Amino acid sequence: MQLPTIIQGGMGVGVSGWRLARAVASTGQLGVVSGVALDTLMVRRLQLGDRGGDIRRALARFPDPSVAERIVERYFVEGGIDPGAPFRLVPKVTVVPPVEVSKPVPVSVTLVPPAVGPLDAPSAPDGLGGC
């Protein structure tokens, strides 16, 4: 394997984009685009009206259509939000999730007694190895 002579990097997806990385890669070199804050960039572009439809086209190929549909339903604004209007924010991962994502999660717990060793068995009144 031959290593690339040029590694183009340091450009964020919202700063440079795929076109520069593609141009570098088409010469046989390595074009890199950072994916920092992709979630924020995606929902902002949707809220700006997704001119050209690139974001919605990409979401249409997402493996879980229900997730893609929820994203478009929540963030897409036909024609874009009014100039100066605030963007709807993306929920961030936290230790304590916001109320809107805090839903009870069904959990199934099966209690399994520990293995009974030869030294534990005689002293275990309930047959659970002294637990």
Domain residue limits, the chain: 1-35, 37-81
Q: Is 22 helix (H, G, I), strand (E, B) or coil?
A: helix
Q: Whole-model pTM?
A: 0.60
How far apart, in Å, do the first and last CA atoms of the chain sit?
58
Q: Which two tokens stand for residue 81?
A: 């939000």
| Whether pLDDT at 59 is above 60 | yes
Query: Which pLDDT score, from 0 to 100, does residue 108 have?
Result: 59
| Whether pLDDT at 86 is above 80 | yes
Q: Which two tokens stand for residue 25?
A: 């890669």
Determine which of 16-25, 34-43, 56-65, 74-83 has the lowest per-residue pLDDT on average.
16-25
